[in-house]
Amino acid sequence: MEWSSSSFLAWFTLLFILTLVLLLKQRRSRSLGAKKRPPGPPAWPVFGNIFDLGTIPHRNLYKLRFKYGPVIWLRLGCTNALVIQSAKAAEELFKNHDVTFSDRKVPESFTAHNYNEGSLSLGRYGSNWRLLRRVVTVELMTNKRINDTAFIRRKCIDDMIKYIEEDVEAALARGETGELVVSHYVFVMAFNLIGNLVISQDLLNSHSKEGPEFFEAMDKVMEWSGKPNLADFLPFLKGLDPQRIKKNMERDLGRTMKVLEGFVRQRIEERKLMKKMEGRDFLDALLEYEGDGKGGPDEISAHRRLIIILVNHQSLSN
């Protein structure tokens, strides 16, 4: 009991000191920059305007527009947020201040395994981001590339229908109802589609060993990435990770990367033995990349290759 009381007192004291320092820092920053900021509702200590968002944030933000105008300043915990709610204000922002606001705040969960560094939407603007944009745009997003791969999308959909029909028939033969989890087959189709676009081959089938494992892990990754995290709004909680969101993200993201690593390693061995089929895909572009000496990396690391492939898989499958 004595240890428990002293431990509680120590934690309470630490939290009190951190809160006091945070309040003083926020008060000083508000006094220095309040005159330059857009209007917004008054903020609570520590929590800021989090409570103003309520359970339906988009509706509450819309209501705030009638009181404070189309440009609103909010403080979400320790994070400053600028809310734009008109076409005119958005045009002004993106036309004249796009570089200033180009970097987005990265949720703590997306820093697991440096996941954010492979994302166009979360990566910091700079030479690495420009490299990623160039590779993704040229190798995946051009009209020619999209038109040339139409038959691949058709093939993956046909395979999905075939897998469903085969599994329903097998289930009925066993005396079962034939009910299936359709989301599993859709995911396998999407993963094979990206597999064909990225490494020119089907990666999974409905009976593959890696399929259920990757499906389960990726489902968890999307769950952790969308879950509200206190550490995003109160930075002093990042080290504690009280909701264990980042820890879980590291575990499940690591599982997905392990599956991808096997396929990438296979391609590298094929290239060494000159067994690559005709045509050049996204993975070839990542493996063949060489820096231009203008500030970007000389090559794309093995870890970053996995992250780029995984991010683009998730983005395109969504």
Q: How far is CA 182 from the centre of its chain?
A: 24
Q: Is the pLDDT of residue 38 over 60?
A: yes
Contacts of 199 (CB under 8 A, 6+ apart): 263, 264, 267, 281, 282, 283
Q: Are residues 204 and 292 in the same domain?
A: yes
The tokens of 127 are what?
């030479």
Same domain, 170 and 313: yes
Residue 57 DSSP code: H
pTM, full prediction: 0.68
Residue 302 lies in a domain: yes
Distance separating alpha carbons of residues 316 and 119, to the nearest angstrom: 12
In sequence order, the β-bridge partners of residue 72 are 83
Same domain as 286, residue 162: yes
pLDDT at 166 over 60: yes
Number of domains forming the structure of the chain: 2
Assess whether 221 and 77 both reside in one domain. Answer: no
* Residue at a domain's end among 103, 136, 151: 103
Q: Are residues 140 and 96 in the same domain?
A: no
Distance CA 158, CA 256 (A): 25
Averaged pLDDT, 301-317: 73
Across 78-87, 152-161, 178-187, least confident range: 178-187
Same domain, 143 and 230: yes
pLDDT in tens, 252-266: 999 888 888 887 887
Q: How confident is the model at residue 203 (pLDDT cuts 50, 70, 90)?
A: low
User: Which residue shows structure tokens 């290239």?
Assistant: 271
Q: Are residues 162 and 61 in the same domain?
A: no
Query: Does 112 fall in a domain?
Result: no
Segments forming the whole domain that contains residue 38: 2-103
Task: Say whether both 143 and 185 belong to one domain.
Answer: yes
- CATH code, domain carrying 312: 1.10.630.10
Give yes or no for residue 31 having a pLDDT over 60. no
On whether residue 143 sits in a domain, the answer given is: yes
Domain co-membership, 185 together with 283: yes
Q: Which of 193, 205, 133 minimizes the C-alpha distance to 163?
A: 205
Q: What is the pLDDT of residue 249?
A: 93
Position with higher pLDDT, 310 vs 42: 42
Cα radius of gyration rounded to whole Å, the chain: 24
| Cα–Cα separations (whole angstroms), residue 8 to 4, 11, 140 | 6, 5, 55
Q: Is residue 121 part of a domain?
A: no
Q: Are residues 163 and 99 in the same domain?
A: no
What's the rounded mean pLDDT across residues 112-122? 83
Picking from 17-26, 85-94, 208-217, 255-264, which range would have the lowest pLDDT averaged per residue?
17-26
Q: Does some domain include residue 118?
A: no
Q: Decide if 205 contacts 187 (C-beta within 8 A).
A: no
Cβ–Cβ < 8 Å for 108, 238 = yes
Average pLDDT, the chain: 79
Rounded-to-integer distance, Cα 134 and Cα 171, Å: 47
Residue 238: inside a domain, yes or no?
A: yes
